[in-house]
Structure 1
């Protein structure tokens, strides 16, 4: 039993627990202490609710979409909504750590959240008339991240962030093109632009995985952290991202479907090649390694699928895009949020059992989403089941991690990565 301490007011004794409770910062300050605490839950909340609401309540027939196809809104909102929030949380947490600077806190993070959230409300209903305002919101948070990264790089005289800044600038450029085409009412051009934005995100994924895989693998192999038995192959660090850049360049240059198809297959093969980094003996079956390898596997398979379509295969392009983006990026977001969320709250591996369940649910939802593309299920029931299981996966993650992220006892706790 904790001994009481004197109450200076002379009214008796106050337990230490009461004193500590009174000294704890408000919940909103805890959640905005670092980017991951605020934006990882927002990413999970968006990923859980938005797709389910689109399918279950509207059957993709967005209430405000009078000119732009709902599929454009759907793809855009997943990239810049759920995945965008995870990106903000990751970069505003990782960049200060990599440059040994203080992280963004408080009003700066709430400002980014306000810009991000404003566009998401518009995207939920597909309000075509408010597209220019939504564009300003999304371009605002991306531009803020670019400026923030440039300031850190200049202050520290470091080139560590430059590759991320280049991809982030490309992300902003294709967001601008997408929003411009949406404003003009050109669904086809907007679709092509947002697809290219998806490829840019895959480029960012390749960079992020190359930075995360090394410390995680070493911690799995030696939990003490005293040694670093894992050494990645230097050629794999930027190969996947570099080949994705070639695909983007080919699309911009108007290359033939065959040329773009071969480049897509090459980029997909580079992502599959990253699976070799997971071959670390029996530890390859650990949830942490599986969570980092599956995104590369699904992204690679999706890109190869799209490349095969370009070469004349009788496959739907929707299947390839969902495999690469819903599967590859979706599981990558889960892996990054799960691992970073542990390390930055003073915890370490292994991942909680809930994450294994979430991985299983997300994989099942991807399979269900692909079922109509192979004529196994009718679209509505397959999409509804996929959205429910997808939502359940991120809801489980939120249930398990929100108490960690909002816990004032974990402020300032870091354990690598």
Structure 2
């Protein structure tokens, strides 16, 4: 008896593997979250261990470059990744992919060259930051108009204000006026805190509900609506007071009020035993450190015995830094189809960022002894390790084509 021939033919060949560029270009977070983590980790090391010896010889002091690069380099990349990922999700519009994202990344990277080298001839390149800020604002405006939606207008307003502050800072740097540049960069940092307040209001609720009910069948956590925009609103009021030149005492009380509004957000973490989950603690800790930093900054305006730089680092390193890393951890996992529940290295990274912020701010405020080694050296190492541990955890998923389109938060 003869065998029946197999008429089906050979099995189809598997599809060719996607190149890394195509995988990373699928969504904003895959490009910009790693860029933010790398730059946030490496820039302080570069500044503390290299620029501490005053190697760059230019008209802009290293401290101004340091603030500029953290605000528009590290936090800028995180902002691009967050908004290009969250905005289409909130408005149910197609997300940016591939070429537009890589163009944004290229413009962002070009703007980093002067800060890394300290070379005055490259200083005009920092104007490239204004290009990606304008492009991001135009993107939010376009999809808001297309969808007739007001969900992004608050972010758009803060982004436009950030663009104005960025322009003032860069103009002062290019004309060798370090003090006005430092003031404009400080305002830029405050504007990022306002954006942080908006982001926390929109992230904390769904994350807390997902922690309380992983099936997503119910929404047991519903915060008081008065908390939604209180912190960014009071930050906006204090920034306006800075622009109007109010007295130090009045500004001190305004910043204390803004800090208290951030601390008020911590109450949202009181959800029972689940409050000990790393995701909940990280979001609450970000609000707590931002609030504590602003309270101490306001106290300095009222005569507290410490300089303003230390509490600003507590707010910008602790509040913004922990908030950014929490978003990287949570959004990165969910968008790659992973459940909540952070791996050990990511949890350790969150703890190291908190430690680094305290090591940077508290000794300068006289609240703890200085650690051994170069000034801020140990803080820079702990900070770099914190972001590096997250990247080590997340990179296999970010580059894996099997996680494409796995889930949108």
Q: Shorter-chain TM-score category?
A: over 0.9
Which residue is equivalent to 1:58?
A: 51
User: What is the TM-score of this pair, normalised by structure 2?
Assistant: 0.95
**CA RMSD, 1 decimal:** 1.8
Structure 2 stretches lacking a partner, 5+ long: 1-5
Q: CA deviation at 1:381?
A: 2.2
Within a 5 Å distance, the mapping from 1:204-243 to structure 2 comes to: 204-243=195-234
Which residue is equivalent to 1:111?
A: 103
SS in 2 for 1:226: coil
Q: 1:280 aligns with which of 255, 271, 274?
A: 271
Which residue is equivalent to 1:3?
A: none
| Alpha-carbon distance in structure 2 between the residues aligned to 1:270 and 1:159 | 24
Which residue is equivalent to 1:131?
A: 123
Within a 5 Å distance, the mapping from 1:187-206 to structure 2 comes to: 187-206=178-197
- Cα contact 1:131–1:179 (8 A) shared by 2: no
User: What is the TM-score of this pair, normalised by structure 1?
Assistant: 0.93
Q: 1:383 aligns with which of 370, 376, 383?
A: 376
Please say which of residues 52-61 and 75-84 is displaced more in the overlay.
Answer: 52-61
| Alpha-carbon distance in structure 2 between the residues aligned to 1:73 and 1:277 | 36
- Cα contact 2:322–2:353 (8 A) shared by 1: yes
What are the Cα deviations for residues 152-210 of structure 1, in whole angstroms up to 9, with x where unaligned?
01111111100000000001000000000111111111000000000000000000000
Alpha carbons of 1:347 and 1:7: their partners in 2 closer, same or farther (altered >3 Å)? Answer: farther
Please say which of residues 346-355 and 107-116 is displaced more in the overlay.
Answer: 346-355
Within a 5 Å distance, the mapping from 1:336-355 to structure 2 comes to: 336-355=327-346
1:83 aligns with 2:57: no
Please say which of residues 124-133 and 361-370 is displaced more in the overlay.
Answer: 124-133
- Cα contact 2:158–2:195 (8 A) shared by 1: yes
Which residue is equivalent to 2:65?
A: 73
Alpha carbons of 1:374 and 1:158: their partners in 2 closer, same or farther (altered >3 Å)? Answer: closer
Which residue is equivalent to 2:302?
A: 311
Which residue is equivalent to 1:99?
A: 91
Q: CA deviation at 1:130?
A: 2.4
Which residue is equivalent to 1:395?
A: 388
What are the Cα deviations for residues 307-328 of structure 1, in whole angstroms up to 9, with x where unaligned?
0010111111111110000110
Q: CA deviation at 1:53?
A: 1.3
- Cα contact 1:47–1:78 (8 A) shared by 2: yes
1:357 aligns with 2:348: yes
